[in-house]
Structure 1
Amino acid sequence: MTPSGDLSLLRDPVAQELLASKVPARLAYTWTDGSPRVVPIWFHWDGTAVVMGTPGRAPKLKALRRRPQAALTIDTEGFPAHVLSLRGEVEVQAVDGPPAEYVAAACRYLGEEQGRAWAAQLEGKPMARLRFVPRWATVLDFETRFPSALSA
């Protein structure tokens, strides 16, 4: 079994299921005062990074520019839970209007027509493209892979 931390886990069927799902990711980062923060966020997997869009004035941008180290989790609610946990860094890029990956995510979450309509209302507005590059990964499926405390 592939050990936790190995990025080849991103090719695991459970990871692929979650990266293609409509489940929002949960982005964890460190706030400017050192406390932890977690926010749900739409995402797009481009094959090498998790890309997200956010308003250009989102408070999290200041914190992510200062300390780009972050964690990201995508998981299901039902049992057995499927979980993809990632650690890495977020690259922040200011953009005008929604990044293409944000539009793709909106279409996945809302359907093509409604997703494009949602993204269209953001055209010309300041946004940020967040590119989360995984450096560590683990997959739990609670069938064959369990948290270390349960499998020890």
Structure 2
Amino acid sequence: MTDDMTDTVAQGDPRLLDTDVAQRRLTALGPLRLAYVALDGTPRVVPVLFHWNGEEIVMGGFAPSARGRALRAKPRVALTLDTDEQSPEVLSLRGDARVTEVRGVVPEYETYMRAGMPAEAADAYFAELRARDMLMERITVRPDWVAVIDFRTRFPAAMPEWLRS
């Protein structure tokens, strides 16, 4: 799907994952914002690094964690991947989180952590994790609801004329 066709696809439709905006957000380095409900019933939003494998958002963390326990109890989550610049691009996703425990390093965790670290530092960090035989949580979300907010290609009329360029 090209971005010039996105005005015909309704917000919420998972086919929006195929747009240029969605693909840019899913492959950009940096965190997403994960919204979930904690065990005490309060809402939480946390920045989390991630890997997109073409079907799922994959996040990793150390087990056991309060977040993992909360996601097991109430798996419904919302995710946002956005930009800070004018005009912003926003990819908003919803789905159910699935938490599995992994002995050792979650492969996707290593992928995204290495992308932001010097090679020598990453080698040392992961050697230490492997030596400790860590238990990690692999958290996956397969989006079942997708929205793209893009004021250049999807909603250009919503942007003030003087900001369009």
Asked whether the two chains share a fold, i.e. TM above 0.5, the reply is: yes
Q: Greater shift after overlay, 109-118 or 81-90?
A: 109-118
**1:110 Cα deviation from its structure 2 partner:** 2.9
TM-score normalised per structure 2:
0.82
Q: Would you say the 8 A contact 1:53–1:127 is kept in 2? A: yes
**1:120 Cα deviation from its structure 2 partner:** 3.4
- C-alpha separation between the residues in 1 aligned to 2:54 and 2:119? 21
SS in 1 for 2:142: strand
Matches within 5 A, 1:114-133: 114-123=121-130, 124-133=133-142
Q: Greater shift after overlay, 84-93 or 54-63?
A: 54-63
**1:144 Cα deviation from its structure 2 partner:** 3.1
CA shift in 2, pair 1:11/1:115, >3 Å? farther
The answer on 1:85 being equivalent to 2:88 is no
Aligned residues: 148
- The residue that corresponds to 1:145 in the other structure is 154
RMSD over aligned CA atoms reads: 1.7
Matches within 5 A, 1:103-114: 103-110=110-117, 114=121
Unaligned runs of 5+ residues in structure 1 are none
Q: Greater shift after overlay, 104-113 or 137-146?
A: 104-113
**1:122 Cα deviation from its structure 2 partner:** 2.3
Unaligned runs of 5+ residues in structure 2 are 1-6, 160-165
Identical amino acids, percent of aligned pairs: 41
TM-score normalised per structure 1:
0.89
Q: Would you say the 8 A contact 1:68–1:89 is kept in 2? A: yes
- The residue that corresponds to 2:102 in the other structure is 95
**1:22 Cα deviation from its structure 2 partner:** 0.9
- C-alpha separation between the residues in 2 aligned to 1:93 and 1:51? 11
Q: Would you say the 8 A contact 1:23–1:76 is kept in 2? A: no
